[in-house]
Amino acid sequence: METEYSSGVQKNKSRNFRARISAPRTQYWPLIKSLQTGLLMTTGIAGYMSARCPVIYWSTLLGLAGSLFLAISGSTMLNMWYDQDIDAKMKRTCNRPLSAGKVSPRHVLRLGLAMSLVGVLWAALLSPLYALVVFAGWFFDVLVYTIWLKRRTAWSIVWGGIAGAMPVLAGRVMGSGQIDWIGLALGLAVLFWIPTHILTFNMRYFEDYQSAGLPTFPKRYGFPATRLAISVASVLAGLAMGAAALGLGLTQGSLQLMGLLSGGLLALAVYCLLRPSERANFTLFKYASMYMMFSMLLIALTAF
């Protein structure tokens, strides 16, 4: 009997160990919002390559990618940790690992802080100015946007946009060694893209945000004003990206492709104003995300 009991204990320990090993992939990975993190990392790499190509030191590029991944992922995990109460009230987010009770809040807090710290320190080893911009992105995202303003004002999205603009500016700073107007233009393109993302979700999941008690543009200003804000922001994002592309001196073929992509963004923005609907807004949101990704890839590839 004792032997059977010991054998059962060992089997339980083995199962628990395997569960802990698989936890990062199945439970912790969603906490970093991999698609969002991947897009922001892409902007950072594009910003770097826009100023430093061909890449002379691949170790620097890998260091930039690694530090950005850790800083962005860490801040995202901290945001999820802080917002677990409101996530639990929304149908769209109630099954997230934290709000569903699948992971320990204490572990997520510790991991988020550790990843953030290592990311910023790694950035500091690469360049003090680069690290300052990376830290600014973390500061605006976690402390200003999520903790201070998100539950207080619908205008918190501006600060969320500033946080989202920091990776591409940081990459540009890493490549050029300074903050220049091209880096700021690239940052503005991302900043104006952010409202397209957030405001679309504010309307699409309006009842969810109401249940969570969060202040949103649709609630305060109405759906027509929110659609106008989305369209204007999309146009401004395209103009900022176009200005950066001209400043970078891209080839004629690249500029023509950029113009084609920007024209599609403008056409969809105007269509959303003339024929407003949830489907049209969501199409603009999807296109704006692809526009940002392809524009950054185009800048990076053209730099070669």
pLDDT at 246 over 80: yes
- Give the ranges where 24-104 is alpha helix by DSSP (H): 34-51, 58-82, 84-87
Q: Taking Cα atoms as reference points, which of 172, 173, 192 lies closest to residue 242?
A: 192
pTM over 0.85: yes
Q: Report the pLDDT value the prediction gives residue 5, as an integer from 0 to 100.
A: 45
The lowest-confidence range among 47-56, 140-149, 187-196, 209-218 is 47-56
Q: Taking Cα atoms as reference points, which of 263, 262, 282, 286 lies closest to residue 272?
A: 282
Per-residue model confidence as pLDDT tens digits over 105-139:
999 999 999 999 999 999 999 999 999 999 999 99
Please report, in angstroms and rounded to a whole number, the separation of the first and last CA atoms in the chain.
Answer: 70
- Domain 34-303 grouped into CATH 3.90.105.10: no
